[in-house]
Amino acid sequence: MKKISLLILTFLIFIMPHTVFATVNVEERTEDDLKIWDDIEVNENNLDNILNTPKVDEDEKIYDFADLFVEGEEEELFNFITDYIDEHNMDMVVVTIDDNNKSDAKEYAEDFYDYNYFGKGKNYDGILFLIDMDTREIYVTTTGNALLYYDDARIDGLLDAAYVYMTSGEYYQAAKAFVVRAERYATEGYSSSADDYYIDENGDLIEKKSINWLLTLGIPTALSSIMAYIFISKHKGIKLATEADEYLDIPGIQYGQFVDNFLTTYTSRTYIGSSSSGSGRSGGGISSSRGSSGRSHGGGGRRF
């Protein structure tokens, strides 16, 4: 009887649906062993940021601290992510948290990426998607050449794709939608805004127009000034009149007086309004900021 009961119990355990959460492996950081990239300058302003950032295994790619995914979902998501990394040579990370010990989702996302060994190439190219259940915000951060693939318009597109599922609590679908949309954009190549920017040797986003300002503005201004100087110099010999009569003393011309009386006047005014973007960023272009590590990041977020 006991054997039969044990068999039945074992059978029920296997056939009943159950949820298994993966544990995120976290290592300890100390001031003597911060476990960060060698090129990051440590100072009094970012030391706490580093110590308060979980040190994780960079090969896992999915860090579900908030336990939003089940085991099978993580496996499928991991396969999508590794395919993206292999195809585009950019890193991809998905993080969920239910306790944000940073100032906001933006800081958490940037610190998590910078203070772990993420990124491809000398500029640490890659993208991270954060689901912050504490501040109720999703956030995307980009690093290195990923800024050229994901401009402001595409960041909004990534947020749009995930937000649809976040509002209904379908967190895995939100993460999957982010990965699928990010893959599509990367396959399409650099964004249309990338023509105006490049990433320098320090990983910073540089606007090409700021370098060519002398060609587009300085030289034409200088040429105009030179031409004006030549024109004025050629007319230095002309004597200017000092009295009004000198302009009017022309033989054969008679002068009279004419008065025009206005009975009514009417003035028309037209209001010209201004428009603003609800996203907080311009519709085109690439917005960037510097994280606590000193690296440049693009990205944006949205509350749910």
3-state secondary structure the chain: CHHHHHHHHHHHHHHCCCCCCCCCCEECCECCECCCCCCCCCCCCCHHHHHCCCEECCCCCEEECCCCCCHHHHHHHHHHHHHHHHHHCCEEEEEEECCCCCCCHHHHHHHHHHCCCCCECCCCEEEEEEEECCCCEEEEEEECCHHHHCCHHHHHHHHHHHHHHHCCCCHHHHHHHHHHHHHHHHHHCCCHHHHHEEECCCCCEEEHHHHCHHHHHHHHHHHHHHHHHHHHHHCCCCCCCCCHHHHHCCCCCCCCCCCCCCCCCCCCCCCCCCCCCCCCCCCCCCCCEECCCCCEEEEEEEEC
Per the domain annotation, does 299 fall within a domain? Answer: yes
Per the domain annotation, does 188 fall within a domain? Answer: yes
The predicted structure's pLDDT at residue 264: 43
Which residues 6+ apart lie within 8 Å of 93 measured at CB? 61, 62, 63, 112, 113, 118, 126, 127, 128, 129
Q: Is the pLDDT of residue 28 over 90?
A: yes
Q: Which of 4-8, 73-77, 108-112 shows the lowest mean pLDDT across its residues?
A: 4-8
Q: Is the pLDDT of residue 230 over 90?
A: no
Average pLDDT of the segment spanning 175-202: 96
Per the domain annotation, does 100 fall within a domain? Answer: yes
Domain with 99 in it: what CATH number?
3.10.310.50
Q: Is the pLDDT of residue 12 over 90?
A: no
The predicted structure's pLDDT at residue 249: 55
More confident residue, 288 or 236: 288
Per the domain annotation, does 246 fall within a domain? Answer: no
Average pLDDT of the segment spanning 6-16: 42
Per the domain annotation, does 227 fall within a domain? Answer: no
Q: Is the pLDDT of residue 273 over 80?
A: no
Average pLDDT of the segment spanning 173-198: 97
Per the domain annotation, does 4 fall within a domain? Answer: no
Instruction: Tell me how many degrees the CA angle 223-224-226 measures, rounded to the nearest 5.
Output: 65
Average model confidence (pLDDT) for the chain? 81
**Local confidence band at 209 (pLDDT 50, 70, 90 cut-offs):** confident
**Local confidence band at 217 (pLDDT 50, 70, 90 cut-offs):** low
Per the domain annotation, does 294 fall within a domain? Answer: yes
Q: Is the pLDDT of residue 113 over 60?
A: yes
Domain count, the chain: 1
Nearest to 142 by CA among 303, 304, 301: 301
Q: Which of 90-104, 143-157, 263-277 shows the lowest mean pLDDT across its residues?
A: 263-277
Which residues 6+ apart lie within 8 Å of 3 measured at CB? none
Per the domain annotation, does 32 fall within a domain? Answer: yes
The predicted structure's pLDDT at residue 104: 98
**Local confidence band at 254 (pLDDT 50, 70, 90 cut-offs):** low
Place of tokens 């100087």: 229
The predicted structure's pLDDT at residue 231: 52
Q: Is the pLDDT of residue 10 over 50?
A: no
Q: What would the two tokens of residue 25 be?
A: 């492996």
Residue 185's domain comprises 20-204+288-303
Sign of the dihedral defined by the CA atoms of residues 86, 192, 163, 50, in that order: positive
